[in-house]
Amino acid sequence: MKKLNVAVVGATGKVGSTFVQVLQERNFPINNIYFFASAKSAGKKIDFAGKEYTVEELTENSFDDKQIDVALFSAGGGTSKKYAPIAAQKGIRVIDNSSQWR
């Protein structure tokens, strides 16, 4: 199976951190992983697959130059409404856990 470049949006929240945990436990085929959250959570560290990653602030330019294949969103409806279409327009497959698109 091809290894994917994955973004987790809302990575420091309850559901986002569960996404991270499940990706590790299931040995999801990941090439690169990116963690995004609010400005308040930016700079926090996340351990994933034996490496430490720094959470980045989610902005309109977060998906530029990263060649992300899949973005897992769990940051609330307002965040999804604003940023999921930006990701989708860049060809990223978006999986959103918020109530925005229900």
- Pick the closest to residue 12 from 60, 54, 68, 64 (CA basis): 54
Query: Can you tell me the mean pLDDT for 80-95?
Result: 96
Least confident of 35-39, 45-49, 98-102: 98-102
3-state secondary structure of 89: helix
DSSP assigned state of 62: T
Gap between the Cα atoms of 29 and 42, Å rounded: 25
Q: The tokens 């351990």 sit on which residue?
A: 47
Condensed to tens digits (0 to 9), the pLDDT of residues 50-81 reads 999 999 999 999 999 899 999 999 988 889 99
| pLDDT range class, residue 7, cuts 50, 70, 90 | very high
DSSP assigned state of 76: -
Q: Which domains does the chain have, with CATH numbers?
A: 4-96 (3.40.50.720)
- Report, in angstroms and rounded to the nearest whole number, the Rg of the chain calculated over CA atoms: 12
Q: According to the model, what pLDDT value does residue 85 have?
A: 97
